[in-house]
Structure 1
Amino acid sequence: MEDVLDYAGYIDGAFVKGAGATLTVENPSDESIVDSFPGLSLEQVESAIRAARRAYEKGEWNGLPVRDRADILHRYTDALASRIDRLIEYAVTEAGCPRSSGVMFAQAATPLRQAHEVIDLFLKLPEHEENPIPFAERISPMGGAVQSLRRYTPVGVVAGIAANNVPFYTALWKVIPALIAGNSIVLRPNPLTPLSSIIFAEAAEEVGLPKGIFNLVIEAGLEGGQLLSTDPDIDMVGFTGSSAVGVKVMQQAATTMKRLQLELGGHSAQIFLPDAVDRAVMQARIVCTSHAGQGCALGKRLFVPEDQKAAVIEKIVADLATVRIGPATDPQTQLGPVVSAAQLAACERHVQRAVEAGGRIATGGKRAASMEKGYFFEPTLLDLPDNKNPAAQDEIFGPIAAIIGYRDLDHAVQMANDSRYGLSGYVHGADKKAALEVGLKIRSGTVQVNGAIASAYASSGGQRMSGIARERGIEGLRIYQQLSALTIG
């Protein structure tokens, strides 16, 4: 084993060795150890929070003109980009994302591009805006003129907690918006995939960010994350992860009324109109092979006309039989591993519960026998009798798609909306007008009709148990700012 890190944090402008429990990073493709090192102790996480608070109160960063911050952060992003080869390597070794996967763009290239775009978008936002006060109300009782403004200022100290599936991307969603808005930040990566986060610290050191403005805490357990959600010196928590953990974050943050941005789980629907039902074959393949189905916005529930369901299943089964399963390092691999042994076991439980509730395994449904080591699950299609089946109601983080028949489009929409999640939704139809009409009825934070976009200029976020607030876009920047009404007489 070759050590990658001899430190586990970056606090107040200095790299620090961990004084806590040992953290072991595993390669999900072969179960080998990528790295093992002491994580930070709870006391060290607390010191990172204090450093972030001191740096914010000092005002060196938030007192800079916004264009000066932007210039520094463009250089910061360039420093991140100079390490893109390592980002890709970490995505392969710690996250198990196949090197040739179509999702690899989301591991490195896309977030690096979007970082520059987020900075530029922020520069277009006014620091204050006029409130639409009627003219008659602009005269005070004393006869003087009154002006009413909306004024935007930094939130303060942000805790950014990233996910394990696209660790660099979900961390960058928090780091760049927080910093360009003038905040300080403490970043905590997921303990399963922490290595890519060190690149944020290296870039901070390279460009000379003010001490304490960016802090990194890598820990083996959960205590530091809990502290980030409860400590009164933290003003905001940005979290990407499961809905179950998101609920705990909300509960922990409630006592200090922290601002929250939560991008949580999803179990999104894809509705295929009768004139586009053949698209379900490719979409089922995408669902299963996109980072082994480990994507919260993937459309795992496939709704097709009931009278075409059997034929679609036959085509999907034949197509999934051609998927090449293999280690993430193999350029020929189309389906890599899930991130951990626990996630592999979860996939087995989801399939078992689906069958016990009346579902049928059309193909797959078990660990990949062709792989002696690693956490590989076969590409799986579940034939479900209705949307009440657990496999239609529970988020599944694995290469498992479920197909359900609908009587008519109203029935399809009703089932699509029959979910405690609301992160994304998809509609496919050759008749674009009809597809749009269906899309407008989907209750979800993002709805994609015959296409999708991953843009820094368009926000995304969830409804119901899929989260609160937005990331990216104008809304994803304004969440990192306080709003106050300013009256001038």
Structure 2
Amino acid sequence: MDFAGFIHGERVAGKGAEIAVEDPSTGEVFERFPGLDAAQVASAIASARSAYDSGVWSDLPAKDRAAALGKFVAALAAQRERITDIVVREAGCPRHSGVMMAQVLAPLKHAGDTLKLFLSLPETEENPLPLDERINPMGQVVQSLRRYTPIGVVAGIAAYNFPFYTALWKIMPALITGNTLVLRPSPLTPLSALVFAEAAEAAGLPPGVLNIVVEAGLEGGKLMSSHADVDMVAFTGSTAVGEQIMVQAAPTMKRLQLELGGKSAQVFLPDALDQVLPNVMGVCMAHAGQGCALGTRIFIPEESKAELLPQIAGAVASIRVGPADAADTQMGPVISRAQVARCEHYVKAALEQGGTVVAGGARPEWLGDGFFFQPTVLDLPDNSNPAARDEIFGPVVSVIGYRDLDHAVAMANDSRFGLSGYVHGKDRKAALDVALKIKSGTVNVNAGVMSAYASSGGQRMSGIGRERGIEGLRIYQQLSCLNIGGV
């Protein structure tokens, strides 16, 4: 790459430490270039601040911002095949798998839908004052309004598992609501983010509205979550990093939107055990288990485990693991050698605490130097096992037996996370009754929704705030009350 940043409308070469982008399918470095240093990140923040304060973007009517961003999305859509190639190479997502839709096609659709949704929202809304409060003690007729305005400069930090998608989650709502943005992709998957610079140029976005910073280390990222000129931080990633961002943002009281880790439960009612096998396989094949909302804890009736576990083992063993670009690959690599080691660590910890490996459990040596881990199923004695407590972020699924549905719900809620949850049951009333007891930001009953119109977000250690939907737009806006009285 001949540039590592996009600052104030200009492509910028890096002056910092080298970025080495690895192909997870082979373990080889296929791209090297110097990343930005902290001073360059600071200049990107200054550019975003200047652009916001000038009003060149925030003062535009919403329909004009939407028109410019429509050109931005069109420029990206014209490059979708190239973006797909990049995601396959840098993220290791299998090209011919179903999950590839979520990498490129879905975010492009959601980007356009986000613009439509925002244009349907009012800039002001009336507060529902009771009739007896519409005349104040001085006899004046009063009206109370909620007014929404941009929050200012947003720092967006994207994740490596769905790099293009999680970046667009920041770009579209931040910009359509009138903010300016500094975007930092993961240094593991930086190349897809640099395509946004080309789209910004093609769309004619004013300088400073969208800035992109790629760095090898953490100094610039810390600056983005602590600098006084940044008003909000939007982050998708691990809970551990989210905790650090909260600490760094606290002295300047920044608005935070954090989508963090998960350890989501899938509860299978006794009448839906035929759904266990496809859902277990689906977790592993969903980008090698690298999804924060994936249901990696499988709760089935205790008396059914002996019959189901051999079937699950056979199904998982049939998953074709291989390079991301191979036509028959159903599950590709994880992102790095460190992530392989993390999977190995949790399998070992599970065994030490009474668990059993039903399938997989090791690195497939026959696949060369790529960052592969076998699709793995663990039979755990209870929900206290380390493999059931911590987010592994790999193709490792834990099967846990429950005595009755109250026991299943109790275990599902016995987690520091609360990002998503799943309930499967042919008796929809019974399944809904269970779902209403699950403490999670999203609960899916026999189906899921992937839409720009429906928000998602975490509870407890899975984060704060929402992404997508009305809530995912309003979080990028300041709310003020405007109270008006008649003479």
Same fold per superposition (TM over 0.5): yes
Give the aligned length. 485
The one-letter code matched in structure 2 to 1:362 is: V
* Superposed structure 1 runs of 4+ greater than 4 Å apart: none
Counterpart for residue 68 of structure 1 = 64
Q: Which runs of 5+ in 1 are unaligned?
A: none
1:57 aligns with 2:53: yes
CA distance in 1 between counterparts of 2:62 and 2:247 reads 34
Deviations, residues 15-64 of structure 1 (Å, cap 9, x unaligned): 00000000100001001222100000100000000000000000011111
CA contact (8 A) 2:321 2:330 kept: yes
Q: Is 1:158 equivalent to 2:158 in the alignment?
A: no
Pick from 167, 171, 180 the counterpart of residue 184 of structure 1.
180
- Give the match for residue 117 of structure 1: 113
- Return the alpha-carbon distance in structure 1 between the equivalents of residues 149 and 98 of structure 2: 39
Secondary structure of 1:486's counterpart equals strand
Deviations 1:201-246 (A, max 9, x none): 1100111101100000000001111000000000000000000100
Counterpart CA distance in 1 for 2:331 and 2:112 is 31
Compute the displacement of 1:155 (Å): 0.4
Matched, 1:345 2:363: no
- Length-normalised TM-score, structure 2: 0.99
CA distance, structure 1, for counterparts of residue 342 and residue 109 of structure 2 = 34
User: Within 5 Å, which residues of 2 pair with 1:18-29?
Assistant: 18-29=14-25
Task: Identify the match of residue 82 of structure 2 among 64, 80, 86.
Answer: 86
> Percent identity over the alignment?
62
SS of aligned partner of 1:176: helix
Equivalent residue runs for 1:286-305 within 5 Å: 286-305=282-301
Kindly indicate whether the alpha-carbon contact (under 8 Å) linking 1:93 and 1:328 is maintained by their aligned counterparts in 2. Answer: yes
Q: How does 1:440-455 map to 2 (within 5 A)?
A: 440-455=436-451
- 1:465 and 2:474 are equivalent in the alignment: no
Distance 2:148 2:241 in 1: 30
Q: CA deviation at 1:476?
A: 0.2
CA contact (8 A) 1:26 1:35 kept: yes
- Residues 135-146 of structure 1: pairs in structure 2 closer than 5 A: 135-146=131-142
Of 223, 240, 244 in structure 2, the residue corresponding to residue 244 of structure 1 is 240
Q: Secondary structure at the match of 1:71?
A: helix
- 1:187-206 map, 5 Å: 187-206=183-202
> Counterpart of 1:292 in 2: which secondary structure?
coil
**Greater shift in the superposed pair: 149-158 or 74-83:** 74-83
Any conservation in 1 of the 2:71–2:202 contact (CA below 8 Å)? no
Question: What are the Cα deviations for residues 312-361 of structure 1, in whole angstroms up to 9, with x where unaligned?
Answer: 11101011111111100101001110000110100000101111111011
Deviations 1:419-477 (A, max 9, x none): 00000000001111111111111000000000011000000000000000000000000
Post-superposition shift, 1:363? 1.1
- Structure 2 unaligned regions, length at least 5: none
The 8 Å contact of residues 264 and 296 in structure 2, kept in 1 or not, is answered as: yes
Name 1:403's counterpart in structure 2: 399
TM-score (norm 1): 0.98
Please, which of 310, 315, 325 is the counterpart of residue 314 of structure 1?
310
- How far off its partner does 1:132 sit? 1.2
Asked whether 1:383 is paired with 2:389, we answer no
- SS of the residue corresponding to residue 148 of structure 1 reads strand
Q: Provide the rounded CA distance (Å) in 2 between the counterparts of 1:67 and 1:413.
A: 46
Aligned to 1:275: 271
Matching residue of 1:265: 261
Residue number in structure 2 paired with 1:102: 98
Q: Which amino acid aligns with 2:291?
A: G
Q: Aligned to 1:61, what secondary structure does the other structure show?
A: coil
8 Å CA contact 1:278, 1:312 repeated in 2: no
Superposed displacement of residue 311, structure 1: 1.1
User: Structure 1 residue 425 and structure 2 residue 421: aligned?
Assistant: yes
Q: What is the identity, as a one-letter code, of the residue corresponding to 1:24?
A: A
